[in-house]
Amino acid sequence: MHLVAFHGYPLDRQIWAPLASRAAAGALGPITAVFAPDFRGRGTSLRPAAPVHAMSLLADDMAEEIAHAVPSGEPFLLAGLSMGGYVAFEFLKRHAGRFRGRISGLALFDTKASADDDAGRVGRKAAIEAIRKDGIEAALSAMLPKLLARRAKGGPVEQTARAMILATPPATAMADLAGLALRDEGFEVLSGWERPLLVAVGDEDAIAPPSDAEAMTAVAGRAPWVKLLTVPGAGHLVPLEQPDEAAAGLVALAETSSR
């Protein structure tokens, strides 16, 4: 089974690298391959940044990527971390028909189903202006202190996160922020979801805290299997900070989904 995984802001596909290497080593149970594309405007994406990265635009891009990369007819698990979770909601709203029967399960990491409130949108505007003025360092200083659990600070995971943020072109980060401010809620998708669902969150996640994870599982009344995994010693980047916990959650999801 494939795992299709969407990354967060202002990051890239490398947040999924610890899981991709486990899958390649045969250590991810039924998951034999991880497809983690970069969203447009960064990393390995061939698509240029747009002025605004609406979650619907990124979801449409991902539908094309999946159609090319995952052999037709084969099942996959869909995973999203933070912004990647918002894109997953939009993907399910817009493309569930096209991939009918192939999406076996959903894994949401460090994300939330609520939209930005007015204060959140004002904050996005300020963040865009800060990047326009000071470049991607403004995103680094705004995001890095909030991304990781205390134990990861100053260590190799922080170096990885720092490098990902600094590699994000400023225009891409600004377009992401504009899209994040406009996004819709995902609660309706979750309340209609009828496949297994994993919701994983770091117990120190300062951006999408455990209360957001609980709110998502609370509405998923039609899912036959729901697992809320609160990961100790992790912040907003569970797959990088605690890859063994993330892997165990995904293996359980994959085993349930392939039954």
* Residues at the contact surface with ligand MLT, assessed by CB under 6 A: 8-9, 82-83, 180, 207, 236
The smaller minimum CB distance to ligand MLT, of residues 83 and 213, is found at: 83
The smaller minimum CB distance to ligand MLT, of residues 95 and 236, is found at: 236
Question: Whole-number minimum distance, CB 87 to ligand MLT, in Å?
Answer: 9
Q: How far apart are CA 99 and CA 73, in angstroms?
A: 8
Question: Whole-number minimum distance, CB 146 to ligand MLT, in Å?
Answer: 8
3-state secondary structure of 96: coil
Q: How far apart are CA 19 and CA 245, in angstroms?
A: 10
Question: Whole-number minimum distance, CB 111 to ligand MLT, in Å?
Answer: 8
The smaller minimum CB distance to ligand MLT, of residues 181 and 229, is found at: 181
Q: Residue-wise over 2-38: b if at least 16 C-beta within 10 A, else e?
A: bbbbbbbbbbbbbbbbbbbebbeeeebbbbebbbbbb
Number of Cβ within 10 Å of residue 198's Cβ equals 26
123: tokens are 């904050």
The smaller minimum CB distance to ligand MLT, of residues 74 and 129, is found at: 129
The smaller minimum CB distance to ligand MLT, of residues 33 and 182, is found at: 182
- CA-nearest of 247, 214, 254, 256 to 76 is 254
Question: Whole-number minimum distance, CB 181 to ligand MLT, in Å?
Answer: 9
